[in-house]
Structure 1
């Protein structure tokens, strides 16, 4: 069974958000998603400073099995990306909720976060996959 930290919010497309305060959130993909994709080989992240809409495709993760789109969980502006992933995309596999984070976003409205899944609801959505 996949590990799902209780303090995070999740999307139906397997992205997670961690509140860093002041409207800034760190975004990554869930342990479940990285396990389904397999070993990461390349990650194309958005540029810092780019405004994105919630649900918009903003990054691509390529693994030995497939390429997968990453969607912005909320509307806002990308403020930083995890540059360590350029040289070590496997960080997403090894530590999806830690060193394998993808980018940080300053969201436009907290109401977007309220619409996301909590850990319990996310676990229920992936239960059929496991």
Structure 2
């Protein structure tokens, strides 16, 4: 699992990247009440806004940590957005991408680097 400074996570399996928001981000947002996942077939570049998460506190864009084509969006989040709070780094994933450039994954922070980053916030 790798992380961005915007608190997204990504797991790469073969050429498919699963993306969500970190436990830290979910905690900061508070109770998630709505999630807008990207449409399957949409192509995104690393850094593009590709989803929206709304909580009782705020609405936030979710940015693609890696570029590619959306091949799946989490169907659970439409009816159960609270899944993002309950299981942010597993069942609360937002989308899966067919990765355009796997080297983008290697440029992201591992968990130890992300934990260190959080201490500077």
Same-fold status (TM-score > 0.5): yes
Alignment deviations for residues 85-111 of structure 1 (CA, whole Å, 9 cap, x no partner): 000000000001121111101111111
- Structure 1: 5+ residue stretches without partners: 1-7
2:4 maps to 11
Alignment of 1:1-130 (within 5 A): 8-21=1-14, 23-129=15-121
Alignment deviations for residues 24-77 of structure 1 (CA, whole Å, 9 cap, x no partner): 011010000000000000001110010001100111100000001100111110
**2: distance between equivalents of 1:121 and 1:71?**
19
State the superposition RMSD in angstroms.
0.9
Cα pair 2:12 2:105 within 8 Å, conserved: no
**2: distance between equivalents of 1:36 and 1:29?**
11
CA apart distance, 1:125? 0.9
- Structure 2: 5+ residue stretches without partners: none
Q: How many residues align?
A: 121
